[in-house]
A and B are shown apart, each in its own frame.
Chain A
Amino acid sequence: MLSPSFRPALYRHEDRMTRSHSLARILGPLALCLGLLNAFAAQAEEPHITFDTPVIEPMPYAVPDFVAEGGGAGDAAHNIARVVADDLTGTGLFREIPSGAYISGIASFDAPVAYADWQAINAQVLITGAVQASGNKLVVKFRLFDVASGAPLGDGLQFAGSAKSWRRMAHKVADAAYSRITGEGGYFDSRVVFVSESGPKDARQKRLAVMDYDGANVQYLTDSKAIVLAPRFSPTGDRILYTSYASGFPRVNLMNTANLSTQVLDEQPGSMTFAPRFAPDGHTVVFSLEKDGNSDIYTLNVDSGALIQLTDAPSIETAPSFSPDGSQIVFESDRSGAQQIYIMPAAGGEPTRLSSGKGKYGTPVWSPRGDYIAFTKIGDGRFYIGVIRPDGTDERLLTASFLDEGPTWAPNGRVIMFTRESEGAAGSATLYSVDISGRNLHQVTTPGAASDPAWSPLLP
């Protein structure tokens, strides 16, 4: 501390020194305590860094050919891996790393993963799988790996089915991978019913067809003798509602997809029914019924046949769609002088106008998640597909063209499919899909012209 050599012979020196001594004597331990406290505080306080500019781009992933375990599984192992890759890449959220870039392959399903090799090619997720074939049966198993952290992403899964259903098993694998990575449900193992069109525009023939969501496995449900429109799947996917002109007037028909038997719903003479859609309970159908020159919205209990009128206005009310919880119905009406979108309680009641922008709005469809309502908008001579919140906010237009119409939601509420028709006498209708972010617009492959798509729920 203070050495005696510092002692000068000045007045008040002694007092000052004693004061200094006492001060140092007090401050020393105090400072020591403070230092220790600071040390503890520093250990408790960690550097805290905030990252606030995320990158939004497809995630690179690798899916080598699945391992064929047992003879006869080679083709299936390759094809299943390809379908999985097509599914994931088709979402626009993932980017497949071509197999030519692979440093190492997957020789055995249970072999350890050489993470360094996959990190080197910038793969962030690796999907490995194996296919066992025994007779007419296939067993497909797969695993997901987070390449960056060098750890599996969840548990592996396996599916068993007949060799004929290899595509569905591939879609199942893709659904599981998609769900595990993105956190939302998949939609690959689903089907789409649509109107297949053929012939010239002035004599177009239409029939119902159904296909996998990606355009594979097209099957026709009706012949081309009667015009058919607006098919809609039931919540369980085992029935289809559609409008048929077989009688010369539009009538709502109900088809059982197991045996293709059909029945006409509410066949009242002198009326026309159209624009049907199932309620979430699967027992109630909501549709438009035109009688005496006025069309309103009705519900019909398929089991009991009870018919209930929900709207009663001199205007045209049509295109009803239930909310996922079944409590509300969104529909289209021109009661204001132009087509707009309205919401009313499922049991009927005073509707609330939803759309407020310029132009006309129609064909509203409630998202399976309930967060958005998709619609067709007409404005400035162009057609748009858009979405809007059920409270009327956050309206966004996703597409625009000469004619876009008739949106339908994927089972996970992330993707919308719709009809796009090209201009001119030679123009034809095609199916397109788009992510609700407005990205990843692409055409869905169909054998010919197609319109009026309706997505099925995820298959069991």
Chain B
Amino acid sequence: MNRGLLISGIGHLSLILWALLGGLFTWNTETPQMQAVSVSMVTSSELDAMQSAAPKVSDTAPAPTEQPAATEAPKPAAKPETPKPKPAKPAPKPQTPKPEVPKPDATLPQPTPKPKPVEKPAAASDPTPDPLPTPDPAPETAPAEPLPLTSDTPQPVPMPPTDKPPAPRPADRIAETPVDPTTQPNLADTPTPQQSDTPSPDAKPAPPQPAAAPQETATQVTPDVAPPPDNTTQLAPRSSPRPASRPKGIGKPAPDATPTATAQPDAQASNSASANQSTADQAAIDAALAAATASDSTASATTAPDSQASQAGSGGTGDQALGAALNSGEIDNLRHVIGPLWNIGSLSTEASQITVTMRVKLGPDQKVLSVEMVDFNGGSQAAAQQAFEAAKRAVYRGAQKGLSLQSDKYDTWKSMLFTFDTSKGRLR
């Protein structure tokens, strides 16, 4: 409490001092300097002269670049349509005109009351009148030109693939500039930005984590296991070096706790000393078991995976996140980094409905070594390939940003399965 008061006092004092001395009440009243721009005066006659000299902008010319193509084309069959001058006027029409006969589209606008939007039905529905008497000034008679679709158009012809693309070196620019100092070759590899983004210190965070793990286990176990020698208390931390296995930590004391619980009836039946002996025997057996299981360095991490997998999964979003030794926080972090980068907006409708499972292999530096599609469902192989590439892009980009995986769990995350399930965000 005193410390709190002291900190509060210091804070307030520094705030007051800053307000008094830091220029809070001495606002800079200087107005910014104005910038002057020189302007030359032009008389009206000069302006008229300039305007008249300026090139006129034509209002036509929809596409200037394609004009040559249009003009180059000869006009051989300019008016194939004109042969029937106007026989439409007399229109001997024997048949009764149906109102909606002219065109399917013509039937559509009719129901709407107020608009008379489509007058093509209007013109069409009455067969007798000739709808095109007055030639408008704008459209000159059709400059009909042959379409370039068929014969003489220069067709772009697909050619065989060009020579192989060069080996994708990272970036000349980057390699040339600062890298070359021979003292530290590692620096040449690290300048990529993602290196700095993934600060994950490799071996340093190890000490604090084991301290956290045994604490959890110790608080539950120590009261019961107090009589046995302190060897057991040393063994417990050794067998669980990482806190990542929270379920493991929870599961670990259980076997220790159960024997003591079973030892209690024995103690009640006979003697407390004998109870201690029996617990000592059980503890010794357990120690032998623990030593056997812990003989392999990875075995300690594998004692939990099954139970841990399900529990870590439940800690996620509810699906099968079976992180062997990745805790729910790490799994969520992966989702947080990679998920927003998974963009299916440019996929085909089919590809955007495919769920892809891929195996991602990472290097110790958390860079992607390889990504391979393991499984897919919901579409064709070709579409699955597109869906896979979209997901792969997300993985690569996420790795570039930094996955923040713990380096001492490399054995766990060096190979992972990612499933990209599109069922919640499907395009149609």
Contact = CB atoms under 8 A, between A and B. Distances in A.
A45 B309 contact: yes
Interface string B97-111: 010111111011101
Q: How large is the interface on B (under 10, 10 to 19, 20 to 34, 35 or more residues)?
A: 35 or more
A248 B346 contact: no
A159 B319 contact: no
Interface residues of A, number: 171
A58 interface: yes
A38 B302 contact: yes
A124 B393 contact: yes
Contact of A164 (B84, B113, B154): B154
B46 interface: no
B419 interface: yes
Contacts of A272: 95, 101-102
Contact of B168 (A151, A225, A238): A151
> What secondary structure prevails in chain B residues at the interface with A?
loop
A403 B115 contact: yes
A104 B173 contact: yes
Interface stretch (A209-217, A301-309, A347-355): A209-217
Given A159-B156, A423-B115, A223 B79 contact: yes
Given A182-B347, A207-B142, A222-B142, A49 B417 contact: yes
Given A202-B119, A205-B139, A447 B154 contact: no
A293 interface: yes
A225 B104 CA distance: 22
Q: Which 10 residue pairs of A and B lie closest in terms of their CB atoms, listed nearest first?
A: A248-B88, A183-B386, A319-B104, A162-B154, A223-B142, A159-B156, A42-B302, A184-B348, A155-B161, A114-B171
A414 B132 CA distance: 37
A63 B154 CA distance: 25
A346 interface: no
Nearest to A184: B348
Contact of A183 (B80, B347, B391, B421): B347
A49 B416 contact: yes
Interface string B150-190: 11011111110111011111111110000000000000000
Contact of B77 (A189, A229, A260): A260
A336 interface: no
A39 B334 CA distance: 25
B289 interface: yes
A45 B322 contact: yes
A223 B82 contact: yes
A245 B103 contact: no
Nearest to B194: A119
Contact of A381 (B113, B174, B351): B113
B12 interface: no
A205 B346 contact: no
Contact of A332 (B104, B317, B352): B104
B425 A54 contact: yes
21 contacts: A39-B298, A47-B325, A56-B427, A94-B346, A111-B166, A116-B171, A116-B192, A124-B343, A149-B393, A150-B168, A183-B351, A184-B348, A216-B63, A219-B144, A229-B103, A270-B95, A383-B112, A394-B428, A402-B117, A403-B112, A451-B120
Contacts of B76: 259
B185 to A, nearest CB: 18
A406 B158 contact: no
Given A182-B348, A402-B117, A161 B418 contact: no
B303 A38 contact: yes
A262 B98 CA distance: 27
Contacts of A111: 166
A167 B103 CA distance: 35
A48 B108 contact: no
B118 interface: yes
Candidate in A45, A153, A244, A402 with the most chain B CB atoms within 10 angstroms: A45
A141 B162 contact: yes
Contacts of A34: 293
B383 A423 contact: no
Interface string B119-144: 11001100110111111101101111
Contacts of A51: 335, 338-339, 342, 391, 394, 418-421
A198 interface: yes
Contacts of B427: 56, 437
B278 interface: yes
A208 B3 CA distance: 88
